[in-house]
């Protein structure tokens, strides 16, 4: 076993490795969804993670747009934050439990009035239902606007058609739809 001692200066290859890891963490620090896939026709707990503020400024407002086909949306209460639910009509009716049809519902959820310091992270949670009328294999985007005391991040970018691996500066959180789970007895 080799015993390595560092005397004042870090070897250049180790320094480069540490620097690249810290750069990766900064570059990849964007609002994300906890789960990356969801079955159509099922409940989905959307956990949005906000990893930082805006260049040192605390986050004071989070606004998330609800994609078409995500229904029965209920935000989780956050102590110290106010919730606003903006409702609107859907492009078509969507099926829910026991034959119910939803033709309108939450289109945007806004948490405001709190203060999330830049050096901390937090989660903003929605209980939802992903309609069975949606197509497996497609991706749904939840655009988020993060407002800080000074500045704003607009996590709203989506890949161009035919370029799903396109690099985006401020990507919208996304989930991929998978087929409905088979119903056993």
Residues 106-135: what's their mean pLDDT? 97
The whole-number pLDDT of residue 9 equals 47
Which residues, listed in sequence order, are joined to residue 45 by a DSSP beta bridge? 127
Report whether pLDDT(24) > 90: no
The mean of the pLDDT values for the chain is 85
With pLDDT > 90 as the criterion, what percentage of the chain qualifies?
Answer: 75
Quick one: DSSP state of residue 159? Answer: P
Exposed/middle/buried for residue 18 (C-beta within 10 Å: 0-12, 13-18, 19+) = exposed
pLDDT tier at 131 (50, 70, 90 boundaries)? very high
pLDDT tier at 7 (50, 70, 90 boundaries)? very low
Lowest mean pLDDT among 45-49, 69-73, 146-150, 162-166: 162-166
Which residues, listed in sequence order, are joined to residue 133 by a DSSP beta bridge? none
Q: Which domains does the chain have, with CATH numbers?
A: 29-161+168-177 (2.60.40.2230)
Lowest mean pLDDT among 62-76, 87-101, 163-177: 163-177
Report whether pLDDT(30) > 90: no
Exposed/middle/buried for residue 115 (C-beta within 10 Å: 0-12, 13-18, 19+) = middle
pTM of the model: 0.81
Tens-digit pLDDT profile for residues 116-126: 999 999 999 99
The whole-number pLDDT of residue 49 equals 96
The whole-number pLDDT of residue 166 equals 73
The whole-number pLDDT of residue 66 equals 98
Q: Which residues contact 3 (CB under 8 A, 6 or more apart)?
A: none
């Amino acid at each position: 076993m080799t015993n390595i001692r560092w005397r004042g200066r870090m070897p250049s290859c180790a320094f480069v490795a540490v620097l690249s890891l810290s750069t990766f963490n900064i570059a990849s620090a964007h609002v994300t969804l906890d789960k990356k896939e969801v079955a159509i026709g099922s409940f989905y707990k959307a956990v949005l993670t906000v990893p930082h503020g805006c260049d040192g400024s605390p986050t004071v407002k989070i606004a998330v747009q609800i994609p078409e086909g995500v229904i029965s949306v209920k935000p989780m209460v956050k102590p110290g934050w106010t919730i606003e639910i903006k409702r609107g009509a859907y492009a078509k009716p969507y099926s829910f439990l026991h034959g119910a049809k939803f033709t309108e519902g939450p289109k945007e959820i806004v948490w405001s009035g709190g203060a999330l310091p830049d050096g901390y992270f937090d989660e903003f949670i929605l209980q939802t239902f992903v309609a069975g009328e949606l197509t497996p294999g497609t991706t749904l985007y939840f655009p988020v606007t993060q407002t800080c005391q000074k500045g704003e991040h607009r996590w709203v970018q989506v890949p161009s058609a035919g370029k799903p691996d396109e690099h985006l500066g401020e990507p919208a959180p996304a989930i991929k739809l998978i087929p409905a789970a088979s119903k056993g007895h």
